[in-house]
Structure 1
Amino acid sequence: MATMDRHPPHCPPHPSLATLALAHALSAAERGLAVIPLARTKLPALPSPHRGDPPSAPRCHGECGLPGHGVYDASTDPRRIRALFAAAPRATGYGIACGLAPHHLIGVDLDTKSGTDASASLRELALRHLFTIPDTVVVATPSGGRHLWLSGPPDAVVPNSAGRLAPGIDIRGAGGYLVGPGSRTEHGVYSTVPGTGHLPPAPCPPALLRLLTPPPRAHHPMTGRPGQHGLGLVQFVLSAHEGQRNTRLFWAACRAYENGVGDTLADALTDAAVHAGLTEREARSTIASAARLTAGP
């Protein structure tokens, strides 16, 4: 007796969630958005290769060449993305790294779980500081919240924050990521709001950008003589507050390598980071991570 096919000819098998997530991730990468695979928990799907390392071990941002470094794995290279998803067969979504060229993405997360009306808080901020949110990509979250995608200028670093701008408003900036539309999590599916998916991330209004970027501190003088653009990057690292030193160094190193002066500025950026409070080993590791992330395919 002939056995029945598991999937009749008129009913082709459904693609796996990982395959769907990969397709969405590749589509985002075509728009210049660097991506990583995510698990149903919204956390990176690949475990760290350094789980057994002692606490005193230097922090690795991917210099070891292995996957599993969270947002530092993010890439727009289709081959790299396929390899990441192949190593994460249980992935059901993807994350979009913020703060990277070409969009320098800033995510405004309007949360609903805090019991406050985050959209109303944002409207109040806009009225008080005289800005409007332009038409841009809006992603609906399973909890009823919204993610607004904005682009920042290349010379501004927006730190991640939760509730600092206003209750219920979280910001995803350099070193953070947004759950991409099409991702399936344990709470539901993320999807673009109709009429916004085709839009590019709109420029962040200057008044809002000023609220998102902390004022610089006085910086230490440097003895080196990098070029004017390089000097600005070095001073930017020197003015880092506690808690944003590594983020600022990573951003500045990315900009340096994107402009072809990363190796030239590496020592000056390291010195600046040490002045700001990082160890030399931490600084070198972060700069190496920036070099790897900005390297062409």
Structure 2
Amino acid sequence: MVHPETQRMRDLGFALGPLDGKKAFLAGGFHNFTTNPDVHTRQAHKYPQCNWGGTRSGTMAVDIDPKNGGSLEFLMKSLGLPNLLDTLAVRTGSGGWHIYFLHDGKIRGKLAGYDGIDLKTWRTGYTVMPGSVHPDTGKLYRIERDLPIAPLPQELLPLVTPPVYKPSPVTVNPERRSDGLVRKVAEAVGGGRNQITFWALCRALERGSSSLVPEIRDAALSTGLTEGEFETCLRSAQRTAGRVA
């Protein structure tokens, strides 16, 4: 059975999928989440103790995790905002927050300048839905503010917008052919970002152009890839390039 608060999120337009704790059961991850209630019923029978993840087109989640230093109160105070909860907001099972805003642009993986605050959109990930049980605390995720999803506050816009990649000046040095790798990464979108970043890092390392790694990193982060995801790509590329060498 799907929890009523999970169903409420579906009614609000969230595509849902079953989770094992916080990890998606489906092979395609959140890309295979759906708003179809019949599918959810079948999935609930197949995974009777599952949690649910969700994502919604045109919507960004501000994920505040106190375990990693995130604080809603500090965020509001530092930005001079009296309230960030005039929108749909979920209290997580760890005492944190999932706060939802309308925003369809590119985003960073984390809120700039703040610890413990991640950002997710339908292009980059999902959040655990209310009605789910936190795998560590055993506490429920609950809808705290059942309000229409509000536009992203202007004060948050510069903190969620990724830096713009600025290509290096054109040069006749043949080594700068590798600048095309950086452009490829900067233009990557959606689920292909990790693969393209990994590919570009492999090519750069194989060519001995390790000086391009910081540029590839900046380009990858500008697409919304997180620091952790980039580091994973880099370690894999270093192993691969080492085998080729």
- TM score, norm. by length of structure 1: 0.52
Mapped contact 2:88–2:99 kept (Cα < 8 A): yes
Matched, 1:89 2:48: yes
Task: Identify the structure with the greater helix proportion.
Answer: 2
CA RMSD in angstroms comes to: 3.4
Counterpart in the other structure of 1:121: 74
1:135 Cα deviation after fit: 0.4
Q: Deviations over 1:257-291 (max 9, x none)?
A: xxxxxxxxxxxxxxxx89x959xxxxxxxxxxxxx
Matched, 1:145 2:96: yes
1:83 Cα deviation after fit: 3.4
Count the aligned residue pairs.
183
Q: Find the aligned partners of 1:131 and 1:217 in 2 and give their Cα distance.
A: 34
1:112 Cα deviation after fit: 1.6
Q: Find the aligned partners of 2:29 and 2:191 in 1 and give their Cα distance.
A: 18
SS of aligned partner of 1:245: coil
When residues 145 and 26 of structure 1 are mapped into structure 2, their CA distance, relative to the original with a 3 A threshold, is closer
Larger radius of gyration: 1
Mapped contact 1:108–1:149 kept (Cα < 8 A): yes
Q: Find the aligned partners of 2:15 and 2:118 in 1 and give their Cα distance.
A: 21
1:208 Cα deviation after fit: 0.9
**1:36-47 alignment, distance < 5 Å:** 36-39=17-20, 41-44=21-24, 46=25
1:181 Cα deviation after fit: 1.2
**1:127-276 alignment, distance < 5 Å:** 127=80, 133=84, 135-152=86-103, 154=104, 156-161=105-110, 164-173=112-121, 174-186=123-135, 187=137, 188-193=139-144, 196-197=145-146, 199-218=147-166, 241=186, 245-247=188-190
Q: Find the aligned partners of 1:69 and 1:177 in 2 and give their Cα distance.
A: 13
Mapped contact 1:182–1:190 kept (Cα < 8 A): yes
- The match for 1:33 among 14, 27, 42 is 14
Q: Find the aligned partners of 2:48 and 2:188 in 1 and give their Cα distance.
A: 35
Q: Find the aligned partners of 2:148 and 2:185 in 1 and give their Cα distance.
A: 30
1:239 Cα deviation after fit: 7.8
When residues 140 and 80 of structure 1 are mapped into structure 2, their CA distance, relative to the original with a 3 A threshold, is same
Mapped contact 1:240–1:248 kept (Cα < 8 A): no
Unaligned runs of at least 5 residues, structure 2: 168-182, 202-245
Unaligned runs of at least 5 residues, structure 1: 1-18, 47-66, 220-237, 251-272, 279-297
Q: Find the aligned partners of 2:185 and 2:78 in 1 and give their Cα distance.
A: 26
Q: Which amino acid aligns with 1:68?
A: A
1:248 Cα deviation after fit: 7.7
Mapped contact 2:70–2:114 kept (Cα < 8 A): no
SS of aligned partner of 1:175: coil
Q: Find the aligned partners of 1:89 and 1:79 in 2 and give their Cα distance.
A: 15
When residues 131 and 185 of structure 1 are mapped into structure 2, their CA distance, relative to the original with a 3 A threshold, is closer
When residues 204 and 84 of structure 1 are mapped into structure 2, their CA distance, relative to the original with a 3 A threshold, is same
When residues 248 and 218 of structure 1 are mapped into structure 2, their CA distance, relative to the original with a 3 A threshold, is farther
Q: Which amino acid aligns with 2:65?
A: D
1:125 Cα deviation after fit: 4.0
Mapped contact 2:185–2:200 kept (Cα < 8 A): no
